[in-house]
Amino acid sequence: MSQSIHIVDTGIANLASVQAAVNRLGSKPALTRDAQVVEQCPYLILPGVGAFGVGLQSLRAYKLIDALLARIERDQPTLAICLGMQILCRASEESPGVSGLGVIEASVTRFQSPRIPQIGWNNVSPTQPEFFESGHAYFANSYRLAAAPSGWNCAIADYDGPFVAALQRGNIVACQFHPEISGAFGMSLLKKWATLKPQEVLPC
């Protein structure tokens, strides 16, 4: 694999770790804030750490919301990580009144656990065998999807109750965990995603 994988440059994520993982994959990481690239490039990662409202505000400021929606509508391979996954949801308890992209028909809520954030390696189990594998992945989050939305392949984990660890529908993959720093388990998922077949597009 020597293709480029574009990474949305939100300015607040652990971008260096995502870039390093793409390099280890044998692909070329390229940061972008260009709406046309975001909409059309063959492979796009939407990373994210920090607060829901801030993440959406920065996507709005760079005018990337419509581009993201269009590429997801066309089923262009897209990987949303951590806050990136939450941004695809309708809303979050973290930032009341702020609308997410609504691609995932569900709202994000805060953990009801004695220790928040959840930081560390949790056991991920697919509820359908189609896409995800079992294994440990690294999480760092205070908010989560408590139940799987319909129409998606799902993997779950447990932190004082089950929550959605990852979702996949066609070429769209969303992980609450951080595959870029989840060792061999994360690399295997990245590899699988990066071999999904993109739609025919204009070069970008």
Partner 1 sequence: MLTKRIIPCLDVKNDRVVKGVQFNNLRDCGSPVDRALLYEQQGADEIVILDVAATVEARRARRDTVSNVRAALSIPLTVGGGVASVADVRELLNAGADKVSINTAAVTRPDLIDELAQNFGSQCTVVAIDAIKAGASWVVTSHSGTTRTEIDAIAWAQTVVDRGAGEILLTSWDRDGSKAGYDLEMLEAITRAVNVPVIASGGAATPDDMVQALAAGADAVLAASMFHDNVYTVAAVKSELRTSGCEVRL
Q: Does 50 bind partner 1 (CB under 8 A)?
A: yes
- If one counts every other C-beta atom within 10 angstroms of the C-beta of residue 82, the result is 26
Q: Which residues of 113-144 are buried (b: 16+ CB within 10 A; e: fewer)?
A: eeeeebeeebebebeeeebbeebbbbbebebb
Q: How far apart are CA 36 and CA 108, in angstroms?
A: 29
Q: How many binding residues for partner 1 (CB under 8 A)?
A: 38
Query: Of 48 and 77, which CB lies nearer to partner 1 in the complex structure?
Result: 48
Q: Does 125 bind partner 1 (CB under 8 A)?
A: no
Question: Which range of residues in 13-21, 101-109, 126-134, 148-156 is near partner 1 by CB under 8 A?
Answer: 13-21
Q: Does 20 bind partner 1 (CB under 8 A)?
A: yes
Query: Of 114 and 203, which CB lies nearer to partner 1 in the complex structure?
Result: 114
Minimum gap (Å) between residue 152 Cβ and partner 1: 23
Facing residues of 167 across strands?
154, 174
Q: Is 66 exposed, middle or buried (0-12, 13-18, 19+ CB in 10 A)?
A: exposed
Of 31, 36, 66, 26, the C-alpha closest to 203 is 36
Query: Of 72 and 189, which CB lies nearer to partner 1 in the complex structure?
Result: 189
Q: Does 141 bind partner 1 (CB under 8 A)?
A: yes
- If one counts every other C-beta atom within 10 angstroms of the C-beta of residue 155, the result is 25
Residues in contact with partner 1 by the rule CB under 8 A: 12, 14-17, 20-21, 23-24, 49-51, 114-123, 136, 138-142, 158-159, 178, 180-184, 186-187
Residues annotated catalytic, as ranges: 82, 178, 180
